[in-house]
Chain A
Amino acid sequence: MGKIALKHVTKSFGTTEVIPPLDLDIEDGEFVVFVGPSGCGKSTLLRLIAGLEDVTSGMIEIDGNDATRVPPSKRGLAMVFQSYALYPHMSVRKNIAFPLRMAKVDEAERDRKVEAAAGILNLTDYLERRPGQLSGGQRQRVAIGRAIVREPEAFLFDEPLSNLDAALRVNMRLEISELHQSLATTMIYVTHDQVEAMTMADKIVVLNAGRIAQVGSPLELYRAPQNKFVAGFIGSPKMNFIEGEEARKQGAHTIGVRPEHLALSTDGGTWEGTVGVAEHLGSDTFLHVHIDGVGALTVRTQGEAGLNHGDRAHITPDPERIHRFDGDGLALA
């Protein structure tokens, strides 16, 4: 079981409040991603759950029991750190076995579990090596191995992929998702990368300045962002925001349209403008179009767009996909 509940949790460092009162329920077996820009308090929140930081007020419950004052070693949670935090003086085998050794598991059992974990993570050939002799991806797998052997109530990941190169990151992302499917254990994952959040999460918690901006499934956040912050943060390229006359026509302070919900045409449309930079990805093209009287908009078109710098283009937003926000940045129904 790995049900975690935060009740009115706050955290202050000195007089600075980093987490204002916050409530959150994480169900057993869920893959929850905390996402937000750097400094939004997502790592602090994870460390509060881990017990590495003390809450200033409020309560943390793990499986219905008050764990607020329980030390990290007794919470039954395992954590994977951004820097991997492997023990450099121990072999891979001893690193993975460390939590079991701390739990006074006998040696035969320990070996059996280490071998099993190493099998899952393709580390069998590296068990006698030191962390210093491994690549970044292998180190990350050792850190994950160390977390899975103890069969924790929940896994906590603190930006585990940030130190890996792009190709490896995609691989590890898949491996972690597969691990979640096979173990069905609660996972809480912190990242600043919305692509990781969208691809891995059952539930995304978007944080902004210590507050929860929105909680929901990836597609809920994509389809119905509750505020401008979430609308701008989720999705790549970023949602276009338009203020002024065009927004007032829609009865809003600001309207937002995602680049993929703008139709491009050379004949005619709602708006007209000049093509600026065109980014060709092969499968897609991102066009930055300067609309007369509206401003710059990013348009995403499939395949190779036949437009280049300086060309005139017409753009039409999908009326079903226009997001409307009031002056405080909250979504209008």
Chain B
Amino acid sequence: MARAVTNNRKAINTGLAWLIGLLIFFPILWTFLTSFKTEAQAINDPPLFLFFDWTLENYAVVQERSDYLRFLWNSIIIAGGSTLLGIVIAVPAAWSMAFVPSRRTKDVLLWMLSTKMLPAVGVLYPIYLLFIQLGLLDTRIGLTIVLMLINLPIIVWMLYTYFREIPAEILEAARMDGASLREEILYVLTPMAVPGIASTILLNFILAWNEAFWTLNLTAANAAPLTAFIASYSSPEGLFYAKLSAASTMAIAPILILGWFSQKQLVRGLTFGAVK
């Protein structure tokens, strides 16, 4: 009897998990399906699920009207650049907080995280004005810097957590072996923290890729990444659902594929330290 109950419960749990998974995934699936419909089919009532005339027309139109590859390239530069820049700054910062903590280290860490609690729009004006003054508006370098700063607290926190797991004696051994601080970080700490650094890079790349507030507000034409590409297809007038869907699918495809292949690494990275 007990076994039967367990099996039933298992089946219910599995069904529930599938339902929730489907619920979360449905908007993406619907966007994907809509991108292959004509504009008329896209707003058909009742909605058409699978049985419609599949067409690639939307993709052709979207590519023709706006240069997808240029947006993609901007996204790669901005997300990749801000992540790498953040890592270069965060590794020494996390090293010092993990291995030579002072009495204020905990405060500094909390303060850094607290900046993430501020609504971004609160500093939009000052940043916008600064960007105009410095000539950074609508430049890739400007966006790279802003996104790096936005994500830096998370990068430092994640690396700090990973570094804390590394025994200090190994770094001391490196020091005794004649390694300078730079060599100690480069040859001993970094290789040992590779899994942690990789998942930090991955997560921050995704965060930077998806970031829409700053990328929409600080760009016009030159530095606009894929978020701006999607936004340009949302319009209060006219029939754009299918084209918007096609644009969205094209914009999220790269990160979805990246996420799919690095799932294991990502989950391991996010739970690292939590389960030991």
Contact = CB atoms under 8 A, between A and B. Distances in A.
Contact of B173 (A51, A74, A79, A150): A79
B221 interface: no
Interface in A118-171: 146, 150, 156
A71 B182 CA distance: 14
Contacts of B172: 52, 72, 79, 81, 85
Q: How large is the interface on B (under 10, 10 to 19, 20 to 34, 35 or more residues)?
A: 10 to 19
B132 interface: no
Given A85-B167, A102-B183, A78 B176 contact: yes
B169 A85 contact: yes
Contacts of B124: none
A150 B169 CA distance: 19
Interface string A80-120: 01110111110000000011001100000000000000000
Interface string A35-52: 000000000000000111
Contacts of B191: 87, 89
Contacts of B170: 85-88
B178 interface: yes
B167 A150 contact: no
A236 interface: no
Contact of B178 (A50, A81, A86, A99): A99
Nearest to B194: A89
A78 B174 CA distance: 10
B127 interface: no
A294 B10 CA distance: 71
B5 to A, nearest CB: 43
B175 A72 contact: yes
A77 B176 contact: yes
Contacts of B192: 87-89
B177 interface: yes
B178 A150 contact: yes
A231 B213 CA distance: 74
Contacts of B62: none
Contacts of A85: 167, 169-170, 172-173
A316 interface: no
A265 interface: no
Contact of A87 (B176, B180, B183, B188): B188
Given A52-B172, A81-B173, A87-B188, A73 B178 contact: yes
Contacts of A98: 174, 177, 179, 187
Contact of B167 (A51, A79, A83, A156): A83
A77 B167 CA distance: 21
B176 A79 contact: yes
Given A89-B191, A89-B192, A102-B183, A146 B169 contact: no
A51 to B, nearest CB: 8
A50 B170 CA distance: 14
Nearest to B166: A88
Contacts of B167: 83, 85
A87 B187 CA distance: 10
Interface in B174-206: 174-180, 183, 187-188, 191-192, 194
A102 B169 contact: no
Interface in A47-85: 50-52, 71-74, 77-79, 81-83, 85
A51 B175 CA distance: 9
A99 B175 contact: no
A150 B187 CA distance: 18
Contacts of B183: 102
Contacts of B175: 51-52, 71-73
A221 B188 CA distance: 43
A71 B177 CA distance: 11
A83 B170 CA distance: 9
Nearest to A158: B169
Nearest to B176: A79
A72 B177 CA distance: 8
Contacts of A77: 176
B207 to A, nearest CB: 28
B169 A81 contact: yes
A102 B186 CA distance: 12
Contacts of B188: 87
A82 B168 CA distance: 12
Nearest to B188: A87
Nearest to B171: A85
A74 B176 CA distance: 8
Closest 3 CB pairs of A and B: A85-B173, A102-B178, A99-B177
Given A73-B180, A102-B180, 12 more contacts: A50-B176, A51-B175, A52-B175, A73-B179, A79-B172, A81-B172, A83-B169, A85-B173, A98-B187, A102-B178, A146-B177, A150-B178
Interface of A: 50-52, 71-74, 77-79, 81-83, 85-89, 98-99, 102-103, 146, 150, 156
12 contacts: A50-B176, A52-B175, A72-B176, A73-B177, A79-B173, A85-B169, A85-B172, A86-B170, A102-B179, A102-B180, A103-B178, A150-B177
